[in-house]
Structure 1
Amino acid sequence: MKNNKFISFAISTFNNISIKSKIFIFYAGILLASLSIFAILTINISNQAIVEKVTKNAERELSLIDKSLLNLANNSENYARILSMDNRMQNQLERIENNELDSIDNIEVEKTLSTVISNVVQPNTNIAAASIMSSKYMFFDVGYIDNSSISRYFNRDLINSITKNKVPTWTRLFKVRYKFGGDEDVFAIAKTIIGMDTGHVLGTAVLYLKEKDVAAIYLNNIVNENDKFYIVDNQKNIISTQDKSELYRKFDEELYLGKYKLEDISDTKSLIRNIGDKKVLITVQNFDKLDWKVVSVIPLDEITYENKKMTQLILIFGVTCLICAFVASYLLSYTISKPILKLVNIMKEIKSGNLKLRADLNVKGEIGMLGDGFNSLMDKINVLVEHIYTEQRLKRENEFKLLQSQIKPHFLYNTIETIISFIKLNLKDNAMLTAKYLAGFYRISLSKGNDIITIRDEMNLIDNYLSIQKMRYVEYLDYRLEFEEEILKYQIPKLTLQPLVENSIYHGLKQKEDRGILIIKGEFENGEIKIEVFDDGVGMSEENINRVLNRLINGQKSNDFGIYSVNSRLKLLYGDEYGLSIESKESEFTRVTLRLPAIDTWG
């Protein structure tokens, strides 16, 4: 109650003050709002620009990581291929395959294999170690790896899968133990050894790549110390990250991504999330070669900290500008009040009916532009008045042409000839029934000169029309009227449905080889009247639909006026949102949908 009294008092006070004071208050308010919006937008845009820059940097870093990972993976696979194709190793494995070795030979074999392996492991490459397995699933004790720590991973099913692939195959992350103590998290790259001379499977070469070497790729790209990176496999297990205690765990999608999944934001898409009291940028990059995903987590609070100082400067600058703006608005209000009063007087005269009067303020600047704008507005109003007059005239012409096009003399002649034919054939009942339908049709068509009738009358008119047509074309025409009772009291322009029904009969069903059905359905939909005219005739092409709706053939007006007239008339009466739409499929059906506002005839 108190608020209402205060608002009423404020409005009354504002109405009673001078125009100069009103202009001052108005401009002061506008300037205050503008500067406030400017400050808010500047701060937000600045923050957004920083975030966008960080996002692009993150995406660029992930792209570089992706390329580096690809180089590392390709190099590792190439080392596996080189090792599997070494002639010395293949010769020794052939001897093992043929059982040609004694105990002394076994020592020679292990020495040869050890020499071969040394060429593809550290310090020559980034491969930590390598193992050789014979075709009989036996590891040779030739490297730094304790074979007992890996034998449980390389079971026969895995070896058979590697053999079937015939290309270097990556395993999941696992832990291996060295012969001389210590363990390491590694990825294994396994390649089947196939004899170059015999084509037989001689064994499997297994190379081990440290997780630390994989992690070094993204550790070199860390800008802020709190940035985090994860590499996740296709099972969403963490296989590489800074914090090694998180290895082998499931990536926490709920914590980092909320309602999203990793696959939802792949391909360097980014997501900003609040995790605890911190806002972070999450970016995901697919590493398609191994079906991994690289995830970066970058805190935004540290990056936007410097922007807070800029915010303080913007606020100080804004307050200074606001004080200057108040002074300027007061001077401006005094300057523009006089020509505005003159403009008000001109508007009063125009309000009395003199639409030809124009403002002549003889001033430049914004007030001059206001006068010019007012004059332009009045010119447009005059044009609009002329347009409305022309539109109303077109409306009346359309209504006249519609009546002309629908109550066609040949329909009357054809019906009378039908009645005569029935009489000649001694089908007097049919003749009387046809005459009754004809009388009912023209009785409603005339409707005492009323152009708007009820949907019930329009339905009865169409019923009479279709009854006559069915008497004439009983061999190919059947119809149903399905109108909801509650819509029958609402209004519709007279003879709206007859052109649609006639089109369905003569251009749809009559062209069909067998008997067809015509269904006219009326119902409520979303507070509007919807009437559908459906036939299962020969259908229409898109070109024909455009022709009947727009009366255009190759850019020229056609003589098909009926449906176009109905559509034009409805839009003129009720607005462009109403009228006709046509859906059709050639050789199958045509559905013409008519929409009207629900206007009670007696309302």
Structure 2
Amino acid sequence: MTEARLFSRHSIGTRIAALFMLLILVITAAMTYVSISVSTNELLDSSTEYTEQLIRRVNAELDMYVEYMKDISDFIVDNGAVAAYLRAANEHRLTDAACREAQEQLAAAQKIRSEITAIALIPESGGALFGSEGASLNTYSNYQNADWYQAALQEPNEVQVSSSRVENLIAGQYNWVVSFSKAVLDRAGNMQGVLLIDLNYQIIDRLCADIQLGSRGYIYLIDQSGGILWHPQQDLIYAGLKEENVAEVLAAADGRTLSGKGRMRRLYVACASEATGWTAVGVAYTQELLRSQDRIYKTYLLIAAAALILALVFALQLSRSIAGPIRRLMQTMRRVEDGDLHVRSQVSSRTELGQLSDSFDHMIAKTAELMDERLRSEEQKRKSEWKALQAQIQPHFLYNTLDSIIWMSHAGRNAEVVEMTSALALLLRSSIGDGSDTNTLKKEIAHVRSYLTIQKMRYNEKLRYEIDLDPQTEDCLLPKLILQPLVENAIYHGIKVKQQGGTVRIESLLEEDRLLITVEDDGVGMTPEQLETILDKKESDAESTKIGVYNVNERLQLFFGPDAVMKYYSTPGVRTMVMLVLPIVRGKEEDSHAED
């Protein structure tokens, strides 16, 4: 505790500087043993040079062998019997004698080296002749697309050396081989076929087995594509039980790299062959290379261990003085991320961490203040927008209705005057309401029914209407006066302009977790151009409120949010229907959606 209070009186920079000063003292003491390290490095360099010489020797022997196999390939290609066989096969006049003579040449060449597993002669017209008696072409072999075949076609004047692969050319045989392939040309330079010679790994085993890199060291080969061509533990490599860091070895600038730690620390020395394109990699364990230095290493490790222990003591002290405040500050940040703007970090320190904590607490307080102000502003803005949108929906037909009442009164139609006046009173009363911005669907339908009663008396038989209200939807909440503009739009733009009039149908139902309301008329309909812009904001005129549809959509978005969907469907001369797909909000949830 005393040490913690001592460190807390200093800045983070002072503490880090003091700790690093102590660490440097330890490093300085360890530098007395640099000479030992230098001698160790020199020994490692000499071992590396020796390993590289061995690898170069393997490469040279492989290159000589590859050149020898290329000479064999050239000898077979230049053989007259081979040329005669290919010419006859391509001209479809092949005889048994030609096959026998060519096969004898292939069989003789195959017996030259025991590691040759197969020699095949493939005419351009298809098929294959093998040096092994009784061998036949695998009907499922797609040799025309094989790398060795394509390489021979692309460079017909060179013998091509393939990577390690499974040979499936001969029926019933699937051996791992390395292949030599060469195109066979006639005197005019025309392609006649391809010669293939497959080798097993005997020669590679023999060449690499002579190289000793300690009791655990070994050599492996990498092909041109970066895959492992040969490995002393080939079965483990192909089974995925052993891996080599091929990419790291090939990426080494000078072909040398060290990998691993302790007993598994390995020296990799790579050398590429220009003749084959293969890379021979020697792997030697540094523990064996530096066996005479084990005692020096032990001494060095003891010193290093003591230095690490000393550094650990100081690191723990640094952790106690810094990690605690940082941890509390991080916990505070997480709570702020979760939305708690009232939490404080409460890091009491005179260091930079304490200053950072104070600044963070001040930022939280300021952010909370700004958030509260923003919420109040947004709430006021939403109320203003709500009132403004609602105020735009005016019962503009009031003047026409009053004119109709006056006209009917002069005509002595007192009963109709009473009916229209009563409907108008109900309409105005529901419009003014009790100050609430919402209505149940039942009240909204009653308001629309009063409106339709007035319009029905004005237009007589030209206007008909039907209302089908699902009882389960009656207590669903809507913004007030949301349906009247849709009905008004159906009358003025659908029914009124149709000579024989029409019917307005209003329907509601529940579908899963959504409320569906449709207002449909069989009026003149709309063109695709009108339908495309129906929800756009428009200017109003003296006849009707064209902005009604736009305002309905705006008010639905304000009330329900993006879950509210308003869709128009129309067929010119047939019908128009608007569908509202809304979240279900029951009357008991009114307080959470309606404004005061």
Provide TM-score, normalisation by structure 1.
Answer: 0.42
Highest CA radius of gyration, 1 or 2?
2
